[in-house]
Amino acid sequence: MTLRPEMIAPTSTYLTRMLGAGLATTLIAGAFALATRPQEERVIPTATIVMTHVPEPAITPARVQEVTPPVPMSKDIHLVFKAGGASWIKLASLETLPRHGKPVLAEDDYQSSAIARVADDKVPDAHARWIGKHVTVDGGCRATITGFAVIARLTGEPGYAGIESVNDKWTAPAVFEHGAKMLAAKLDNCAGGSYARESAYSNVIVPLAIEDEPLAAAAVTSLKASPEASGAQTEWTEYSQPGIWHQNEYATTQTMVLRHPMTGATWVSVHMQYSGGCGLPNINVWGLYRTDADGKLVRVKSSLGDIVQIEKIVDVDGDGELEVIGRPWLGTDRAIQGADGTTLDTLELPYFMCPC
């Protein structure tokens, strides 16, 4: 079939426009339909935030460790005595007396005292620091100083002092003249004590008594073989006394085994004595021993000096060495001495009687 030329001729402008308009309308309608079609809802997951409360760390203030300063040690020690029904400590022996009141007589346990009060403002400067101080007596009892006095003390009968008196009684002026004078401080407590020190200082250290019979026996054997014991035997023989002096029935041997609570050292004290009275020898031999690292006894240089009766063995100043508190001959005085015999303090009590 042959197409006619007019059938393949270009489409008229009108028709073309109609077709284009229809197509455009169709496209627009489709686009509008797509635009107006509801879109699917898209859910976007969100992250869940969990709020957790974390407590702030507590701020603890820095603790400053308080360091307690050590209590100072001291060699300062004072003997305690009784006068006028009260306890006193000796502060010092006196040559020059401070201004004082009228002496008043007091009698205590066969001891006569003349007590002359001293006002606080008349206390010598060297001892004024004691006003109102606290002291510790025998390492335990606490007392306060409440006053001062010049005190003179003695024992015996006035006739032995060359004084004529009614009924052999002392008077306050006579005691004040013949007694041993001292400046003393009065305590409000602690009757019957033997020594005291200011409470600001450490207590006097008292070694512990322990049982060790072999060690005690070894110390006794050592002292009996010592030059001092041999010298006492020579003196014994010179007095025409038979046998061995320390075996006499009136001879005594006192042994103490002690443990120092601070150093741990073990000490042994052996005191051998014979006091025969007038016309007989007075023998006083003391040995002080300390154990070494091997437990063997080593004798320490020691001397009791004037002490013939040991009351206590102590460490006054905490240096690990020992001091002795005791009584000299007749037992009226009291003293504190180092182990080498050095005197730390004495409490004199003049004796006006026949010593035999």
153-172: pLDDT as tens digits: 999 999 999 998 778 899 99
User: Is residue 271 located within the same domain as residue 295?
Assistant: yes
Residue 294: what pLDDT? 92
**Residue 332 pLDDT grade (very low, low, confident, very high; cuts 50, 70, 90):** confident
Are the CB atoms for 308 and 288 separated by under 8 Å? no
**Residue 73 pLDDT grade (very low, low, confident, very high; cuts 50, 70, 90):** confident
Sheet holding 323-328, edge to edge: 307-314, 323-328, 334-338, 343-347
Mean pLDDT of 290-295: 94
User: Is residue 138 located within the same domain as residue 229?
Assistant: no
Q: Reply yes or no on whether the pLDDT at 14 is more than 80.
A: no
User: Is residue 272 located within the same domain as residue 240?
Assistant: yes
Residue 185: what pLDDT? 98
Q: Reply yes or no on whether the pLDDT at 141 is more than 60.
A: yes
Q: Reply yes or no on whether the pLDDT at 109 is more than 90.
A: no
User: Is residue 258 located within the same domain as residue 188?
Assistant: no
C-alpha span between 106 and 115 (Å, rounded): 7
Residue 292, in any domain of the structure? yes
**Residue 11 pLDDT grade (very low, low, confident, very high; cuts 50, 70, 90):** very low
Mean pLDDT of 314-324: 95
Q: Reply yes or no on whether the pLDDT at 206 is more than 50.
A: yes
User: Which residue, of 180, 198, 216, is where some domain finishes?
Assistant: 198
Mean pLDDT of 202-222: 97
Residue 65: what pLDDT? 58
User: Which residue, of 279, 302, 325, is where some domain finishes?
Assistant: 302
User: Is residue 177 located within the same domain as residue 277?
Assistant: no
**Residue 37 pLDDT grade (very low, low, confident, very high; cuts 50, 70, 90):** very low
Residue 253, in any domain of the structure? yes
User: Is residue 183 located within the same domain as residue 218?
Assistant: no
Q: Reply yes or no on whether the pLDDT at 105 is more than 50.
A: yes
User: Is residue 115 located within the same domain as residue 192?
Assistant: yes
**Residue 47 pLDDT grade (very low, low, confident, very high; cuts 50, 70, 90):** very low
DSSP string computed for 150-213: EEEEEEE-GGGGT---GGG---HHHHHHHSEEEEEEEESS-TT--EEEETTSPPPB-PEE---H
Mean pLDDT is lowest, of 68-82, 86-100, 270-284, for 68-82
Residue 277: what pLDDT? 76
Residue 55: what pLDDT? 58
**Residue 276 pLDDT grade (very low, low, confident, very high; cuts 50, 70, 90):** confident
Strands (E), the chain: 78-83, 86-93, 104-108, 111-118, 134-137, 141-156, 180-187, 195-198, 208-209, 252-259, 266-275, 282-291, 297-300, 307-314, 323-328, 334-338, 343-347, 351-352
Are the CB atoms for 104 and 115 separated by under 8 Å? yes
Mean pLDDT of 329-337: 88
User: Which is more confident, 103 or 280?
Assistant: 103
C-alpha span between 241 and 232 (Å, rounded): 11
Residue 42: what pLDDT? 45
**Residue 70 pLDDT grade (very low, low, confident, very high; cuts 50, 70, 90):** low
Q: Reply yes or no on whether the pLDDT at 320 is more than 70.
A: yes
Query: What is the torsional sign of CA 165, 170, 174, 177?
Result: positive
Kindly state the helix (H) or strand (E) to which residue 231 belongs, with its residue range.
helix 227-238
Start-to-end C-alpha separation, the chain: 188
User: Is residue 141 located within the same domain as residue 192?
Assistant: yes
Mean pLDDT of 164-188: 93
User: Which residue, of 198, 221, 255, is where some domain finishes?
Assistant: 198
Which of helix, strand or coil describes residue 348?
A: coil
Residue 118, in any domain of the structure? yes
User: Is residue 225 located within the same domain as residue 286?
Assistant: yes
**Residue 278 pLDDT grade (very low, low, confident, very high; cuts 50, 70, 90):** confident
Residue 230, in any domain of the structure? yes
User: Is residue 290 located within the same domain as residue 189?
Assistant: no
| Owning domain of residue 166 | 78-198
Mean pLDDT of 203-219: 97
Are the CB atoms for 339 and 302 separated by under 8 Å? yes
Residue 175: what pLDDT? 97
Residue 355: what pLDDT? 73
User: Is residue 177 located within the same domain as residue 230?
Assistant: no
Residue 43, in any domain of the structure? no
Q: Reply yes or no on whether the pLDDT at 149 is more than 80.
A: yes
Residue 57: what pLDDT? 56
**Structural domain count of the chain:** 2
Residue 297, in any domain of the structure? yes
Q: Reply yes or no on whether the pLDDT at 151 is more than 90.
A: yes
Residue 163, in any domain of the structure? yes
User: Is residue 111 located within the same domain as residue 171?
Assistant: yes
